[in-house]
Amino acid sequence: MTLTLNSPCDMHLHLRDGAMLENVAPLSSAQFAAAVIMPNLLPPVCTTSEALDYQARIRAVCGESFLPLMSLFFGAHLTKDEIAAAKQAGIRLTKLYPQGVTTNSDKGVSAILCEQNLQIFEMLQDAGMILCIHSETNGFVLEREHSFLPIFVEIARNFPRLTIIMEHISDARSLKFVESFPNTFGTITLHHLLFTLDDLLGSALNPHLFCKPCVKLPRDMRALRRVAFSGNPKFCFGSDSAPHLRTHKECAQCGAGVFSAPVALPALAELFENHGALQSLSAFVCENAPRIYGFTPPQKVVRLRKARFDVAAEYGGVVSLFAGKSLSWILCD
């Protein structure tokens, strides 16, 4: 039995830089035609020229059959000229991190709805850019996404021609807000479809499932599954695969991030199949994203076959989801 996917896309991916980039990027480019590349490097990717340099480093590793859709770190540096330069270079995405909510977000935004940011939103809207948001506050950890909703709604209402993406939705209560505005959409990760707090800390603490936003309650996971399994056109796949070295996960001060790149499509296929939803996988990973973001991915036919996939214990010092376990779908060569 085989499964054919036409140009699957990962709309939220951390590739890092240097040796880590070389280690992890091929795992994604083997499965996906395109991916949205997160800008939270140290220092962050703020300008068009930095993004183009980073894109060239990614292309040097992945080749031309993989389209890295670059994003600029949101901030005061997004002047009218900088936004025009981005558009000119084919960069249409900016990523807003509230300050301090996740890995490498120290340079994020502290007062999201301040006058200066409202002007930037206006310029982004006029330029036809896309605003991707890490939608969390600094509040109580299980309520962080929910307590961000008033800010999300304010931006969505006031900038109705700006396409806004709520990244890595984790809370069932976010879904109806994303659905209720014509200009808002959401990405959903593999780990939020698979796990709850019980998996993270119900028995022995599993640092490899620690991420932001954190995995939540069974009812949240079920609601996310419902929208993904129905192929709902407002939502698409964004893995948020975020590699950290094992030494940075299995320690005190464990970094936030789940590394899922090696298993993304096989694990999605297994999950969708187990729930009788295989017919919606293509909408979720192939069709919805190009329509939402308005881009054409390179032609890439990706085939999976029903066969045992033994997931490696480590990928260059990084522990993947399902490390040392096996999945029932494998990527064809």
Q: Which residues bind Zn ion (CB under 5 A)?
A: 240
User: Which region, judged by CB under 6 A, interacts with ligand DOR, from 83-91, 100-108, 170-178, 286-294?
Assistant: 100-108
| 258 vs 331 by CB, closer to ligand DOR | 258
Minimum distance of ligand DOR from residue 109's CB (angstroms): 14
Kindly identify the residues of this chain, within the stretch 226-255, that bind ligand DOR according to CB under 6 A.
240, 242
Cα–Cα dist 281/94, whole Å: 27
8 binds, options Zn ion, ligand DOR, none, Cβ within 5 to 8 A by partner type: none
208 makes contact, choosing from Zn ion, ligand DOR, none, with CB < 5 to 8 Å by partner type, with none
| Smallest distance from ligand DOR to CB 45, Å | 12
Q: In the chain, which ranges are continuous DSSP H helix?
A: 18-29, 48-62, 80-88, 115-127, 144-158, 172-180, 190-194, 197-201, 218-229, 246-249, 264-274, 281-282, 288-293
Is 333 annotated as catalytic?
no
Tokens read off for 84: 């025009």
Binding partner of 68, given ligand DOR, Zn ion, none, CB within 5-8 angstroms per partner class = none
Residue bearing tokens 């830089």: 17
* Minimum CB–partner distance for residue 303 and Zn ion (Å): 28
| Residue with tokens 């709520």, as numbered in its chain | 166
- Locate 146 and state its tokens: 């929910």
* Burial track 173-204 (b if 16+ CB lie within 10 A, e otherwise): ebbebbeebebbbbbbbbbbbbbbbeebeeee
What is the footprint of ligand DOR within residues 108-127 (CB under 6 A)?
none
Determine the Cα–Cα distance for residues 90 and 102; give it in Å rounded to an integer.
27
- One of 102, 135, 280, 282 touching ligand DOR (CB under 6 A): 102
Q: Binding to ligand DOR by residue 28, rule CB under 6 A? A: no
Distance between CA atoms of residues 71 and 93, nearest Å = 5
Residue 185 or residue 259: which is nearer to ligand DOR going by CB? Answer: 259
Concatenate the DSSP letters of all residues of 133-150 into one string.
E----SS-GGGHHHHHHH
Could you give the residue numbers annotated as active site? 240
Binding site for ligand DOR (CB under 6 A): 14, 40, 102-104, 134, 211-212, 240, 242, 256-257
